[in-house]
Structure 1
Amino acid sequence: MTDTDVELLWRPDPTRDNGMTAFRAWLADRGHSFDDYESLWEWSVADLEGFWGAIASYFDVQFHTAPERVLGSADMPGAQWFPGSTLNYAEHALRRGADDDLAVIFHREDGFASSLTFGALRSRVAAFRAALASLGVSEGDRVVALVPNAPEALIAFLAAASLGATWSSCSPDFGARAVADRFTQISPTVFVAVSGYVYNGRSFDCRPVVEEIRSQIPSLRATVLIDYLDNGATLPDTHSFADLVSAHQGAPLEFTPVPFDHPLWVLYSSGTTGLPKGIVQGHGGIVVEHLKMLALHSDLGPGDRFFWFTTTGWMMWNYLVGGLLVGTTIVLYDGSPAYPSLNTLWHLAEQHRVTYFGTSAPYVQSCLKEGLDPSSRYDLTGLRVVGSTGAPLTPEGFRWIAAAVGKDVQIASVSGGTDLCTAFVAASPDRPVWLGELSCRALGAAVYAFDEAGVALDDAVGELVITKPMPSMPVFFWGDDSGERLRDAYFDTYPGIWRHGDWIRITPRGSAVIYGRSDSTLNRGGVRMGTSEFYRVVESIPGVVDSLVIDTSGVSEGELLCFVVLDGVTLADVEPLLRQELRSSLSPRHVPNRFVAVAEIPRTLNGKKCEVPVKKILAGADPDKAVSRGALRNPESLQPFLDLASG
C-alpha cells in the first residue's frame, strides 16, 4: 500500500527546521546517518544503548554521578537503565529559561488568571522545598496532594521532587474513598490540599473531604491547606500554603541527587476491579522519555506554549508539566472544558497564542457534533499542532480538526498509557498525517502487533506489544515486593514481552491504527472488532450522546448489547437508523441483539468507559468484585446493568 491509497491530511513543510530533523543532523555529525524517520526508528529499537545514550548526550542530561553504562540488564521486567548514575527531575525542569522568561500561564474557569516566570517559579519551589523540609520531609518520603491543575500543584510537586520525595496527586473532584484508596497505600508524610475548587459554574468546599481523607492516613505528619478560592478558608491543625512559602522566601534552590530509578511519583491504575495499582516511575526514566517526546516528537522548545486539557489525576498532567524540561511555557487550565460552552478552550488557545493544543478524542467528537468552527471565530494562527489521546480519534474527528481548526495544523493522535506515562504510538514533525492513523511508532518504542502465538503481524490487527524495555516503564508497583502483580499485569501473555491490552495494526508506512481494548473486543462469528469502531458509528447518530457496547459471547446466549444515552430523541426514533448504519458501516454480525437506553454510561474517575466491569456484571459476577464503586465518576450509573443482570 502506498501513501496515495490513504487520504493524506497534512504533510511536513520541508523548508521548516524542527526538533526531529535537528536531532538527525546531530546524529549524522556523529556517524549515524538516517534518510528518514523510519530508518531512525529502526535504529532506535535495534540499538537501545546507542539511542538512549544519544538522547542523554543530546539533551545534556545532568548526572551528578555518571552512569556505568546506558543499559545493564535488558530483561523485562527489571531492565537496568543508566546504572550507577544519580540525577534529579526537578533540576532538569527548572534549569532552562532565563529568570524573566515565562514558565507558566494559568487560567481558571471563573476568569482568574496568573503567570509565573522561570525566576518566580524557581523562587517559589525553593521556598516550598524549605517548607517541606521544615515539616520533616526528606528523600524517600511521600508527599500527596488533592489539587486542581494550578500553579500551587506544580510548585508542590517540584519541591517534593527536588528533595527526592515521591509525589502523588488526585483531582479534587475525586471522592474521599477514591483518594484514600490511593494515598493510604503509600503512607505519605505530608498532605497538600485545596480548600475548594470551581467547576461548571459552581464552587465546591473541599474541607470536609480533606478532613475525611487525612483521618484515614495515620502516617501523616502535616497537612498543608491552599486557600485556592482566596476566600479566607481555613481548617484546624493545618499549615497555610501561602504562609509557608512566604516564611521561607529566599531559601536556596537545591536538588538532592537520587539514583536513576528513584521513585519520582506514583500514578494509579483505574481501580475498577480492586484497589488501584500504584505505578511507580523513576526520576531518570521520566527525564529522558519526556525530553525525547516533547522536544523531538512534539517539537517544543523555548518560545512555544504547550497546553493539554487535563486534571492532576490523569497522567497527562505529569506529561504537561514536562514541558518545562525543554524550556517551553506550559498553559494550565482548571475547570470544565464545556463551561460556559465548548468554545472555552479554543478561546484560551487564542488568548495565550497556544502552539500545541492537547485534548481528548471525546472532546473533539463533542465539538464536531455541535458544529463548532473555531478557526472562523478565533485567531488560531499561533497553533501548530492539535494533540488527541484518551481514546482512538475517529476519521471524522481528523476531518473536523483539518476543516474547523486549520488545514495547516498537524493532527497528533497519540496512544500510550499511565503505565509508562508517555505515548509510544505518536506523531512526529517530519511525518505525514494520514486520515484515521497515528503517524508513527515513537523512537525507542519497539511496538508491534502480535497474534495469539506471539508472531508479529504485518498490516493486520493484533495485540499491541512492546518487545524491548523503555526507561519510563514502571520501576515497580507500590507494595508489590515480589514483582508478581507487575508481571501479571503486562507479561503473563507473552513472557518477557509487554502486552498493553489494545488492538493495533501497523501499516506498511509505519503508521498505526488503534482499535480499542483487546479485553473488550467484539467477537461475532469469528470476526473480531475493536469497540472504538462501533462507538464511531453509534455516536455519529444525532441524539446519541454516549454509548457502551458489550459482547456477552460465552454468557447465556451470547448477545451483543448496545446501551445508549439519548438527548432529545427516543430509542424508537433512532434504533432503525442505528441498525442500518451498523449493518452498512461494520457488518450484519455487528448489529446488536438489543439496544437499551440508559441515563449514563459508567466511567472511571478519568473518564474511560467501563466495558470490562460491566461485561463481568452481566456475566453474573459479584458486583462488588467486578467493580470498585469508589473508582467510578458516576457509581449510580451501574444500577440499570445490575437490574439487567438480576432480571
Structure 2
Amino acid sequence: MPNTPGGREGIQGSGNPEVLWSPSAEQASKSAMAGFARWVGEHKGVDLGPEVDYAALHEWSVRDLEGFWSAVAEHLGATFHDAPRTVLGSRDMPGAQWFPGATLNYAEHALSPRPGRKDADIAVVFAREDGLERIVSHAQLRDLVARARAGLVAAGVRQGDRVVALAPNSVETLAMFLAAASLGAVWSSCSPDFGVRAVQDRFAQVEPVVLLAVDGYLYGGRAFDIRDTVAALMGRLPTLRRTVMVPYLDPDAALEGTTPWAEFTAEAGPLEFASLPFDHPLWVLYSSGTTGLPKGIVHSHGGIVLEHLKSLRLHNDLGPGDTFFWFTTTGWMMWNFLVGGLLVGSRILLFDGSPVQPDAGALWSLAERHGITVFGVSAPFVQSCLKAGLRPRDHYDLSRMRALGSTGSPLSVEGFRWVSDACGEHIQICSVSGGTDVCTAFVCAAPTVPVWLGELSVAALGADVRSFDEQGEDLCSDAPCAVGELVLTTPMPSMPVMFWNDPNGTRLREAYHETYPGVWRHGDWVHATPRGSFVIHGRSDSTLNRGGVRMGTADFYAVVEGFGEVGDSLVIDTTALGAQEEGELLCFLVLSPGATLGDVEPRLRKALRSDLSPRHVPDRFVAISAVPRTLNGKKCEVPIKRILAGVSPDRAVSAGALQNPEALAPFLDLAGTR
C-alpha cells in the first residue's frame, strides 16, 4: 500500500480533526436528506432513529439495495411509463440488472412541468468570459429542444443513433443533448479545445450520424477559430449525415457542407419523449485511454436519472429556487452532472471560458451576480486562488452560497482552510470523489453531516465504499482503517451498462472487476476514518488529470512518439499522486540518435497543444536513456508515479518484473532530489 502523501499525516491519526462546518439542528431538519429519512421511516417502516442519523441511513442503503433504490425512485419522482417487474433482477458485477421491465426517458425528467419547471421559471443562465449572458426560461428551453428534435428527425435520426458535439458549455449544446435524449439517440461530446486526433479517437468509435459544432471558442481573452478542425472531422467520420454549425463567435460564420443552427431549428415540432428501457444508452463518456483508444463508457437513462436525483437532491440539497453551477467543459463528466440540476428543478448556470478572465475574481463575481447556491470548481482552482492570496468574501456577496464543491483531485488541507476562511464559515465544503466511470461521486458530503478538515464527509447513499489490500482483504475491518484500493462491494444503477464496441464485456471486466472478481475496483487510494469520513490519496492508475480534464497516456504518446526524433516516451502527472496543488506534468523522452532536446521540445509543445489540449503540455521534458518496461513490454507508468511520490522502490515495483531494471535509475535520482 502507498505511503500517506505529505500534508496528510495529521488526518490519519486517532484524534478528531478540526470541524470547519456543521449544520444547525434547523438546517439539518429542513434538508431534503432529513425529509427522505423521515419519509422512509413513515412509508417503508425503516427505523433510522429519532434524529437524522446518516450512518444508519447509509447502512440501510447498502444493505437493502432494493428497498433503498425503490424509495429513491418513489420519493424523488421518477416517472416510469411501464412499471418495473422488480428493482434488482441481478446484483452481479458486472451485469447488474436494475428495474427490469421499466421504461422512462431522461429528457422527460429534465423538461416536464414540475416545481421549479413552470413556463416562466428560469431554466438556464448562460455566461461567457467576454460578458455575454443569456437567460432561458423553461418555456423557451422546451421550445428550443422541440425545434432541435424536429431537426434531428428531419435528418433521419432514429432511436440508438449517435449524436455528437464539438461544442462549448452553451445553451445550444444543452438543447441538442436533450433533443437527442428525447428521441432515444445516444449523446457524446468533446470540448472545442480538443485537437483533431483526440476528438477523432473518441467520436470515430461511436460512428455518429449528426455532429454539432461551433465556429470557434473563447479562452483567456483570445478567440480560436476551429473550423479547420471541424472540416477535418467531417472528412474522418464517414457515418456523418449532417453537421450543424452554431455561429458561436461570428454571427456570419459558415462552413461548406454544414447546416446553420438557425436553419436546423427553424421548424417547430412536438416535444415528445420516447419510452425507453431503463438500461437504454443515454450517453457515451470516455476513459482516459491509458492503454489504447479511450474506452466508450455507456450510461443508461434510468441509471443516471436515479443516481442524479439522489446525488443532487439529497447530497447537494438542490431543488426549486436554487442555482447550480460547476466550472466545466463538455469534455468532462461534470458537464453531464451539471445539466442534471434540471432533474431536481434547479436553474443551472452554464459558464464558458477561462475562470480567471478578465481577472481572478471572474467566477466569484458570477456567484454574486446570479446568487449561486451550490458552486462547483476543481481542487486546482481552489489552490490557485489560495496561492494568489484571494479573499472572495471581502469583495463579493457570497451570502447565498450554501455549498462549495471541489473535485478533479484531492482538495488539500490548506484548500479546506482557505474556503472556510476566505469564502465564509457558512459555506459547506463539499470535497467529492468519483469519476467518469459512474458520472457521480462515491464519497462526498451530506447536508446533515459536519465537514472535518481535509476529509470527504461520507460515503454516498447506495455506495458501499471499502478499502481493500492487494489480497482483497477489507482494511476497514480493523481500526484505524489503512490506506488501500477504493472498492465498491455492491452495484449502483449508474455503473456502465457496457463499453462501446465490447460485445462480450471483456474490457469492462478488465477495467473494474479483474483485480477483485465481483467487486468494483475504482483506481483510487483511500482510507476511512472512525467518523465515517474518507481521505483520498490520489489515483492508483496513470490518468493525466489537468485542471479536471482527463486525458489518457495513450493519447499523449500518439502525438509525442509520432516525431521521428523520439524513440520512446513516458508521461507522469504528479497531481494524481495526491499533491497539495496541481503538480508537474513530466515527459521523459528517449531521443533518437542525433536528436537534441532543445531542437524537438518547442515542436512537441506546439503539437500537444494543438492535437490534445493546452492543459496537457508538459511542464518539463527530461531526456532519459530508456523507459522502464515490464516483461510483457508495458511501460511502468504507475510504478514510476509511486516512486516519484516517495514510495520506496522495492514497494513500488519488483525489479524481477522488468525487462530493464537499470532504467529506474534516473527516476530514483529525481525522487531523491524532490
Q: What is the correspondence of 1:243-392 to structure 2 with a 5 Å cutoff?
A: 243-245=263-265, 247-249=266-268, 251-392=269-410
The AA in structure 2 aligned to 1:133 is: V
Question: Is 2:488 the counterpart of 1:466?
Answer: yes
Give the drift of 1:519.
Answer: 3.8
Of 611, 619, 622, which residue of structure 1 is paired with 2:628?
619
Does structure 1 conserve the Cα–Cα contact (< 8 Å) formed by 2:539 and 2:576? no
Give the drift of 1:309.
Answer: 0.1
2:222 & 2:518 partners in 1: Cα distance?
49
Of 579, 584, 593, which residue of structure 2 is paired with 1:547?
584
2:630 & 2:147 partners in 1: Cα distance?
52
2:201 & 2:373 partners in 1: Cα distance?
37
Q: What is the correspondence of 1:148-547 to structure 2 with a 5 Å cutoff?
A: 148-245=168-265, 247-249=266-268, 251-458=269-476, 459-519=481-541, 536=579, 546-547=583-584
Secondary structure of the residue aligned to 2:97 is: coil
Question: Is 2:75 the counterpart of 1:55?
Answer: no
The AA in structure 1 aligned to 2:146 is: A
Q: Which position in structure 2 is the counterpart of 1:569?
A: none
User: Given the superposition, is the C-alpha separation of residues 470 and 432 from structure 1 closer, same or farther in structure 2, using an over 3 Å criterion?
Assistant: same
The AA in structure 1 aligned to 2:399 is: T
1:378 & 1:211 partners in 2: Cα distance?
43
1:155 & 1:520 partners in 2: Cα distance?
34
Q: Deviations over 1:417-441 (max 9, x none)?
A: 1000000101000010000000000
Of 155-164 and 33-42, more deviation after overlay is shown by: 33-42
Does structure 2 conserve the Cα–Cα contact (< 8 Å) formed by 1:314 and 1:606? no
1:80 & 1:499 partners in 2: Cα distance?
19
Give the drift of 1:343.
Answer: 1.1
1:599 & 1:450 partners in 2: Cα distance?
39
Give the drift of 1:620.
Answer: 5.3
2:576 & 2:223 partners in 1: Cα distance?
38
Question: Is 2:48 the counterpart of 1:26?
Answer: no
1:230 & 1:470 partners in 2: Cα distance?
44
Q: Deviations over 1:238-285 (max 9, x none)?
A: 11112222x212x21100011101000000011243210000000000
Aligned length: 569
Query: Which stretches in structure 1 are left out of the alignment for 5+ residues?
Result: 522-529, 540-544, 552-597, 629-640
Q: Which position in structure 1 is the counterpart of 2:16?
A: 5
Secondary structure of the residue aligned to 2:285 is: strand
The AA in structure 2 aligned to 1:248 is: E
Secondary structure of the residue aligned to 1:172 is: coil
Secondary structure of the residue aligned to 2:26 is: coil
2:475 & 2:192 partners in 1: Cα distance?
43
User: Given the superposition, is the C-alpha separation of residues 288 and 151 from structure 1 closer, same or farther in structure 2, using an over 3 Å criterion?
Assistant: same
Give the drift of 1:536.
Answer: 3.9
Give the drift of 1:231.
Answer: 2.9
User: Given the superposition, is the C-alpha separation of residues 517 and 605 from structure 1 closer, same or farther in structure 2, using an over 3 Å criterion?
Assistant: farther
Secondary structure of the residue aligned to 1:423 is: strand
Q: What is the correspondence of 1:43-82 to structure 2 with a 5 Å cutoff?
A: 43-82=60-99
Give the drift of 1:230.
Answer: 3.7
2:209 & 2:634 partners in 1: Cα distance?
31
2:172 & 2:605 partners in 1: Cα distance?
37
Secondary structure of the residue aligned to 1:136 is: coil
Secondary structure of the residue aligned to 2:168 is: coil
1:616 & 1:378 partners in 2: Cα distance?
53
User: Given the superposition, is the C-alpha separation of residues 268 and 599 from structure 1 closer, same or farther in structure 2, using an over 3 Å criterion?
Assistant: closer
User: Given the superposition, is the C-alpha separation of residues 534 and 324 from structure 1 closer, same or farther in structure 2, using an over 3 Å criterion?
Assistant: closer
Of 125, 129, 132, which residue of structure 1 is paired with 2:145?
125
Question: Is 2:105 the counterpart of 1:92?
Answer: no
User: Given the superposition, is the C-alpha separation of residues 330 and 72 from structure 1 closer, same or farther in structure 2, using an over 3 Å criterion?
Assistant: same
User: Given the superposition, is the C-alpha separation of residues 183 and 621 from structure 1 closer, same or farther in structure 2, using an over 3 Å criterion?
Assistant: farther
Give the drift of 1:332.
Answer: 0.5
1:320 & 1:48 partners in 2: Cα distance?
26
Q: Which position in structure 2 is the counterpart of 1:14?
A: 25
Query: Which stretches in structure 2 are left out of the alignment for 5+ residues?
Result: 1-11, 544-572, 589-603, 638-662, 670-674
The AA in structure 1 aligned to 2:62 is: V
Q: Deviations over 1:162-194 (max 9, x none)?
A: 000000000000001110110110111111101
Does structure 2 conserve the Cα–Cα contact (< 8 Å) formed by 1:272 and 1:626? no
The AA in structure 1 aligned to 2:484 is: G
Q: Percent identity?
A: 58
1:520 & 1:206 partners in 2: Cα distance?
30
Does structure 1 conserve the Cα–Cα contact (< 8 Å) formed by 2:410 and 2:538? yes
Give the drift of 1:196.
Answer: 1.2
1:186 & 1:224 partners in 2: Cα distance?
18
Secondary structure of the residue aligned to 1:5 is: coil
Q: Which position in structure 1 is the counterpart of 2:600?
A: none
Secondary structure of the residue aligned to 1:15 is: helix
1:518 & 1:180 partners in 2: Cα distance?
27
Q: Which position in structure 2 is the counterpart of 1:634?
A: none
Question: Is 2:58 the counterpart of 1:41?
Answer: yes
Secondary structure of the residue aligned to 2:212 is: strand
Does structure 1 conserve the Cα–Cα contact (< 8 Å) formed by 2:575 and 2:584? no
1:174 & 1:547 partners in 2: Cα distance?
21
Q: Which position in structure 1 is the counterpart of 2:651?
A: none
1:532 & 1:414 partners in 2: Cα distance?
16
Give the drift of 1:535.
Answer: 5.8
Give the drift of 1:143.
Answer: 0.2
